[in-house]
């Protein structure tokens, strides 16, 4: 894998190569190079399968970290390709023309995080959260308790319990005797 790491570094300025395990590595590239990197990996290096694409909100760094997982069936090797985009203006180039299923992942990231993928099919349509009018709920500054308190009425007779103590009581009742 060292040869692939060196090729990516030389061609695209890739950095932070890590071998997670024998069959899985990760690398970071600049966001504006991501489409070129993924195209090259697919067409020249045999990483023909897009396993998934996702995002993580790194609120402290004011960024979203996008991860594209690609797989080379010939070598059995998977590669996680990371990039960061600005959290305040979250826009990323679409890869739906590289892999047909990519538009689904991009739609999901638009709905859950507010990341836009201009030109991606159906990216602005509701995906899972039909009728949702609030801020993207996977952003770490989304206050789920405040949303719940404002949206749902308290149910009479409901008890609130410490989950750890409750599970201990239910799973090991003889321990308290």
Does 176 score more than 70 pLDDT? no
- Distances in Å between the alpha carbon of 39 and those of 44, 85, 132? 8, 19, 34
How far apart CA 118 and CA 55 sit, in angstroms, is 17
pLDDT higher than 90, residue 28: yes
Q: 115-137: per-residue pLDDT in tens?
A: 999 999 988 888 888 888 888 99
**φ, ψ for residue 89, nearest 5 deg:** -130, 70
Q: Inter-axis angle of helices 2-12 and 34-45, to 10 degrees? A: 140
Helix, strand, or coil (residue 93): coil
Residue 43 corresponds to which tokens in the numbers above? Answer: 């067409």
Tell me the per-residue pLDDT of 50-83, one tens digit each, with 9 for 90 and over: 999 999 999 999 999 999 999 999 999 999 999 9
pLDDT at site 134: 81
| Residue ranges per structural domain of the chain | 2-176
CB-based contact 92:115 (threshold 8 Å): yes
Q: Of 6-10, 106-110, 129-133, which range is least confident?
A: 129-133
CATH topology of domain 2-176: Beta Polymerase; domain 2 (3.30.460)
28 near 9, Cβ under 8 Å? no
Q: What is the pTM of this model?
A: 0.84
């Amino acid at each position: 894998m060292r040869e692939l790491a060196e090729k990516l570094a030389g061609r695209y300025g890739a950095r932070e190569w890590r071998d997670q395990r024998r069959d899985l590595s990760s690398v970071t590239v600049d966001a504006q190079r991501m489409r070129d990197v993924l195209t090259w990996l697919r067409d020249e290096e045999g990483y023909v399968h897009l396993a998934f694409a996702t995002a993580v909100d790194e609120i402290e760094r004011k960024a979203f970290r996008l991860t594209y997982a690609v797989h080379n069936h010939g070598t059995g090797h998977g590669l996680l390709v990371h990039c960061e985009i600005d959290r305040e203006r979250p826009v990323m180039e679409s890869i739906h023309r590289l892999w047909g299923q990519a538009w689904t992942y991009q739609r999901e990231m638009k709905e859950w995080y507010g990341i836009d993928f201009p030109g991606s099919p159906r990216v602005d349509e509701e995906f899972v959260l039909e009728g949702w009018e609030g801020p993207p709920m996977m952003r770490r500054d989304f206050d789920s308790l405040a949303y719940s308190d404002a949206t749902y009425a308290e149910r009479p007779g409901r008890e609130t319990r410490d989950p750890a103590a409750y599970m201990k009581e239910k799973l090991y009742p003889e321990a308290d005797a």
